[in-house]
Amino acid sequence: MTKAYTEYLWFNTKNRRELIKITEKVQEAVKKSGIKEGLCLVSAMHLTASVFIQDDEEGLHEDIWQWLEKLAPFKSDYKHHLTGEDNADAHLKNLLTHLQVVVPVTEGKLDLGPWQEIFYAEYDGQRPKRVVIKILGI
């Protein structure tokens, strides 16, 4: 019989933009779920943040930030800012890096590749935000 388990991670970053490795927290949720075979969805519940899988290497992290800033720079003349907001670039960065990931669960563990880690990327932080972890399986 298929089981489901849900857990939330809360973030309130010190900086407006941060990258936080959450692999261990997601694996803890998988363990708590008791699910041995299935799928684990990890999804940012805000459109100015992302969850993605990538290598945990500081130089690559800097490259990612530079790439995102090049493609979706922080600037004042976005149409979205006419609403009183100042975070249009954060919405665009979310589109580039995705809202969520799905990871296989095999033998009760996240089935990630050798260099793969799960990250929460914050593009408009300094306020409470959450990520949902939904695990489905047997």
pTM equals: 0.96
pLDDT band at 96 (very low <50, low <70, confident <90, very high): very high
Distance CA 91, CA 72 (A): 9
Convert the pLDDT of each residue in 62-76 to its tens digit.
Answer: 999 999 999 999 999
Tell me what pLDDT residue 35 has: 98
The pLDDT value recorded for residue 135 is 98
The CATH number of 3-73+85-137 is which of 3.30.70.2190, 1.10.3720.10, 3.10.110.10, 2.60.120.460? Answer: 2.60.120.460
- Residue 13 backbone dihedrals phi, psi, to 5 degrees: -70, 150
pLDDT (tens digit, 9 = 90+) per residue, 41-59? 999 999 999 999 999 999 9
Burial class (CB in 10 A: 0-12, 13-18, 19+), 45: middle
